[in-house]
Amino acid sequence: MNVSRKKGPLYLQIKNILKDRILHGVYPIQTNIPSEPQLEEEFQVSKITVRNAIKELVKDGYLETKSGKGTKVIRNTSISRLSKGKRFTEVLVEKGHIIQKRLLGAETIENAPETTLYKLFGEQCIRIERLYYLDNEPYIHYTHYLTMQRMEGIELTHLNAQSLYDLIEEQDITLEKFRDQFAVAKADSYVGERLNVQAGEALLKRSRYSYDEEGNIIEYSEGYYNTEMQQYIVNYDI
């Protein structure tokens, strides 16, 4: 895994990567993360850099360090701005599943007039395509569209290891409002191929609109879930 000083402090980059792995079940709760020497070798950084990243995660309540016993995951949920309920991925991780994601592409695209994207973002926007795996099987196909405004410094290649919303926050953008729409939609040949389902098969489609504190649209996304593998779950703590 590559980290670079051009992307900011190395220890914060490593912290975000490790946190993402914790939240997606790669490092399950009550198990140890890799040792410091293993992380030093993976990220090609110094011992102090790895230790600073771990200290941050200990401070945030994700990890616990004990002399001679390694560093253990003690929490695998985040404080989400999206709702008072738990995020879907957190529910799956708590049930013992592993969620992995792969960046399929990221680019700036031209929006044709009269299209939904043109009405939302104008002539251009950023398009990000990702595939999520549930226990090593393709499960969710997501396409995100981001406004070009206030995104000058965004590093799209970071999305291999970092949350999209963390990346947005790094641009000093605070997302204050979200609107989700759910529908049943038929898989086209492109989505079907990536999710290993037949074209025309019924999938759960989630469309999300994300807005900043001034009500400006920041993100629009479309996700297709193969609910034959796992139903969409929402747990609320009252």
**pLDDT, tens digit (0-9, with 9 covering 90-100), for 39-92:** 999 999 999 999 999 999 999 999 999 888 899 999 887 755 444 445 788 888
Mark whether 131 and 47 lie in a shared domain. no
Which of 73, 98, 120 is the last residue before a domain boundary? 73
Identify whether 34 is part of a domain: yes
E-state strands within 33-174: 63-66, 70-73, 99-110, 124-134, 137-146
Mark whether 179 and 97 lie in a shared domain. yes
Mark whether 60 and 92 lie in a shared domain. no
Most confident of 11-20, 62-71, 112-121, 159-168: 112-121
**Total domains in the fold of the chain:** 2
Question: What is the reported pTM?
Answer: 0.75
Mark whether 155 and 48 lie in a shared domain. no
Mark whether 47 and 112 lie in a shared domain. no
Distance of CA 93 to the CA centre of its chain: 14
Phi, psi of 40 (to 5 degrees): -60, -40
SS3 58: helix
Identify whether 78 is part of a domain: no
Could you tell me which residue, 72 or 167, shows the higher pLDDT? 72
Mark whether 50 and 127 lie in a shared domain. no
- Pairing relationship of beta strands 63-66 and 202-212 according to DSSP bridges: unpaired
Domain boundaries, position 178: 88-225
Mark whether 92 and 58 lie in a shared domain. no
Which of 21, 43, 73 is the last residue before a domain boundary? 73
| pLDDT tops 80 at residue 6 | no
Identify whether 109 is part of a domain: yes
In tens, the pLDDT along 134-161 reads: 999 999 999 999 999 877 767 776 666 6
Mark whether 31 and 130 lie in a shared domain. no
- Contacts of residue 78, defined as CB under 8 A and 6 or more positions apart, other chains included, come to 19, 23, 87, 90
Residue 116, token pair as written in the block:
């939904």
Identify whether 167 is part of a domain: yes
Mark whether 102 and 220 lie in a shared domain. yes
Mark whether 25 and 96 lie in a shared domain. no
Domain of 171, CATH number, reads 3.40.1410.10
Mark whether 139 and 182 lie in a shared domain. yes
Which of 73, 107, 129 is the last residue before a domain boundary? 73
User: What crossing angle do the helices spanning 10-23 and 36-43 adopt, rounded to 10°?
Assistant: 110
Identify whether 18 is part of a domain: yes
Identify whether 230 is part of a domain: no
Identify whether 188 is part of a domain: yes
Half-sphere exposure of 128 toward its Cβ, with a 13 Å CA cutoff? 25
Mark whether 67 and 93 lie in a shared domain. no
- Contacts of residue 55, defined as CB under 8 A and 6 or more positions apart, other chains included, come to none
Proportion of the chain above pLDDT 70, given as a percent:
90
